[in-house]
Amino acid sequence: MGFLITFRSVTHAQNGGRVLSENGILSHLVRPAAVLARGSCGYALRINAVGAQKAVFLLRRKNVPFAGTFYELPGGEIKEADL
pLDDT tens for each residue of 6-60 = 999 999 999 999 999 999 999 999 987 755 655 556 899 999 988 899 999 999 9
Residues 6+ apart with CB under 8 A from 47: 2, 3, 4, 5, 20, 25, 26, 27, 28, 55
Q: What is the pLDDT of residue 74?
A: 86
Beta partners for 48? 2
Q: Is the pLDDT of residue 2 over 60?
A: yes
Q: What integer pLDDT is reported at residue 31 of this predicted model?
A: 87
Query: Mean pLDDT over residues 56-79, rounded?
Result: 92
Asked if residues 8 and 40 have their Cβ atoms less than 8 Å apart, the reply is yes
Whole-number CA gyration radius for the chain: 11
Domain of 52?
2-80
For residue 11, what is the domain's CATH number? 3.30.70.1530
For the chain, what is the domain count? 1
